[in-house]
Structure 1
Amino acid sequence: MSDLDKKRAQMATGAGFIAALDQSGGSTPKALGLYGVDASVFDTEDEMFAEIQKMRERIILAPDFDQSKVIGAILFERTLAEQIKGKAVADYLWDDCGVVPFLKIDKGLEDIVDDCQVMKPMPGLEDVLASAAQGGVFGTKERSVIHAANAAGIEAVVAQQFDVARVVIAAGLVPIVEPEVNINSDSKAEAEVILKEALMAHVGRLNADQNVMLKLTIPEMPGLYDELADHPRVMRVVALSGGYSTDEACARLSENSKMIASFSRALTEGLQRDMADADFDAALGQNIGKIYQASVA
């Protein structure tokens, strides 16, 4: 079996979750702040990204970060140029951890229109995808945000997501379509029902050789996305933590048996830069264990 076939099988049926390690320019300062790194310690963007790379490397090198519980990891584009123990990060993930690498490709969000935020343009996307595929990346992730149950806005989000997904598929990669529903929305449940129908419609228009993954906010109605998970064009439905605590995100996820986690903040909850390595590994291992159990429940 080729590496590509092994990666595909692991993502389609593997037991475990996807670690979201794709903090970008906008989310990095907050992530570092939670990690105990104040913005005063770095003066430039390069120094900021160096700090977040140290955090990512520490996570990836932890004993519990391997394919027994973590089946995939999403990286920020800049991370692809970094190395761990002399190997490109994507290669280290797969060769040494058995973890399938993905790449965040969106460039942030446009302003709110119709209660939703579509993605900003992605200039040079084809070149980025070609380089990622050559570097052993299996798939991509691209995020939009839905703030309220507005059918027009939700359709615009989903339509754009699938336009991008087709470009990703043409490059030989598997897209993770991520139309996040804001967990603080007053109409979250209603928005999720509209989103589910829009996703079903667009998934139904894919060709037999076009497959996607979906990354969705954990729904208010358990099992809402089961029909999507069973669709032949959907490789996997994964859940984002969306700002929920680790315990709440895991509790909600455990009620959705056909979703697995793809958590970022919930994965790193409680981790601090100044922790001794043993304490850091223990805290991370506890989070990984909780998220794994919720994903296989």
Structure 2
Amino acid sequence: MSIEQLAETAQALVAPGKGIIAIDESIATIGKRFAGVGLDNTEEHRRRYRELLITTPRLANHISGAILHEETIGQKTRDAVPFPKYMTDHGMIPGIKVDLGTQPLAGCPGELVTEGLDGLRTRLQAYYKLGARFAKWRAVINIGEDIPSGTCIEVNAHALARYAALCQEQGIVPIIEPEVLMEGDHDIQTCYEVTEATLRSVFGALYEQNVLLEGTILKASMVLPGSRCADQVDVEEVAESTVMCLKTAVPAILPGIVFLSGGQSDEDATAHLDAMNRLGNLPWPLSFSYGRAMQQAALAHWAKDPDRNFAKAQSIVFERARANSLAALGQWEG
């Protein structure tokens, strides 16, 4: 894939009013979601649930692409159509999560590093053949007493940049996700400072490793007070702080930024995105790449009667996609 094609794919992922659905939960993580609604974590249940999401009628009106799990990219619809082919035929771009999760960062207690660079070039070649045209790698930054350390930010930024360079070499658009976790009792100002330092480090590493920013998407966490912080703030303050932080640290040449919901409620994730877009005068499109905030209500409904509730659960997915599409345009009315 040429430089122009990488840039075109990146732009298509953040087309006006379109976002990305994240259905890349690990088998263990989706098992916890299923357990919460009384479903067994079998391969067929996972396949059927992912089919429900991917084949939602008219989903491509609001969704540009889906991040798939390694298991999902090899699965098919009940009519035996491979998921990536179904998506491409219906106007959506298949993507793939390629990191192998986090491990404790040696020498840095309480901090994590994402693994998965070994053998990544070969895996990317295989995913490209299966139809993947973008990928995702998530780094995790914890806020706590004396953390994050500069070391933690730096090693995760370096890994994100190596991953991104390998993706582009194989014609795949990298989504880089340095998530600053909501867990903790820190205030919004602390989150702002950590997020800014993390983003500066990430874009420095991307520059050092010759990553083409025009063919890269940032998946960002919002600037929020910690979930246990006594001093919670209103929607406008989250929007203003997040946009200010991004303008400070993210180059304007980036095709777009999509947000993770990161444990926010469905409503909060949509309201915050809408408020940011209403601020106007943004150098890049701001859209969404939500997992839980797109799926939770639909999963709960489907699980009650998987055969009978399939279509109704799909209509819930469509409504969530539509609400977030409006928020990405700054037109959501709540």
Corresponding position: 1:55 with 2:42 = no
Residue number in structure 2 paired with 1:179: 178
SS in structure 2 opposite 1:121? coil
Q: What runs of 5+ residues in structure 1 fail to find an aligned partner?
A: 43-47
1: CA distance, partners of 2:13 / 2:166: 20
- Letter matched to residue 80 of structure 2: G
2: CA distance, partners of 1:228 / 1:217: 13
2: CA distance, partners of 1:114 / 1:145: 14
Q: Which has the larger radius of gyration?
A: 2
- Cα distance, 1:166 vs structure 2: 1.0
- Cα distance, 1:110 vs structure 2: 0.8
- Cα distance, 1:206 vs structure 2: 5.2
Deviations 1:27-58 (A, max 9, x none): 12122234x234xx35xxxxx23212211101
- Letter matched to residue 142 of structure 1: W
Asked whether the 8 Å contact 1:103–1:137 carries over to 2, the reply is yes
- Cα distance, 1:25 vs structure 2: 2.4
Distance 1:13 1:107, change over 3 A: same
1: CA distance, partners of 2:126 / 2:265: 35
Name which of 26, 29, 34 aligns with 1:27: 29
Which has the larger share of helix? Answer: 2
Name which of 46, 69, 74 aligns with 1:76: 69
- Letter matched to residue 239 of structure 1: F
Residue number in structure 1 paired with 2:97: 104
2: CA distance, partners of 1:182 / 1:206: 26
Asked whether the 8 Å contact 1:18–1:71 carries over to 2, the reply is yes
Residue number in structure 2 paired with 1:188: 191
State the TM-score, normalizing by the size of structure 1. 0.86
Residue number in structure 2 paired with 1:160: 159
Residue number in structure 1 paired with 2:304: 274
SS in structure 2 opposite 1:188? helix
- Cα distance, 1:209 vs structure 2: 4.5
Asked whether the 8 Å contact 2:17–2:326 carries over to 1, the reply is no
Asked whether the 8 Å contact 1:115–1:146 carries over to 2, the reply is no
Deviates more, 1:184-193 or 1:286-295: 184-193
Corresponding position: 1:129 with 2:124 = yes
Distance 1:8 1:165, change over 3 A: closer
- Letter matched to residue 78 of structure 1: E
Deviations 1:168-220 (A, max 9, x none): 11111111111111012324232112112213323433547463211111124
Residue number in structure 2 paired with 1:261: 288
- Letter matched to residue 221 of structure 2: T
- How many residues of Structure 1 are paired with residues of Structure 2 in the alignment? 285
Deviations 1:150-180 (A, max 9, x none): 3331122111111121111111111111111
Name which of 204, 212, 216 aligns with 2:216: 212
Distance 1:178 1:134, change over 3 A: same
Asked whether the 8 Å contact 1:20–1:264 carries over to 2, the reply is yes
Deviates more, 1:160-169 or 1:259-268: 160-169
Query: How many percent of aligned residue pairs carry the same amino acid?
Result: 21
Deviations 1:209-261 (A, max 9, x none): 463211111124131213566532x3321110011111011112223334210
SS in structure 2 opposite 1:235? coil
Asked whether the 8 Å contact 1:116–1:157 carries over to 2, the reply is no
2: CA distance, partners of 1:177 / 1:209: 12
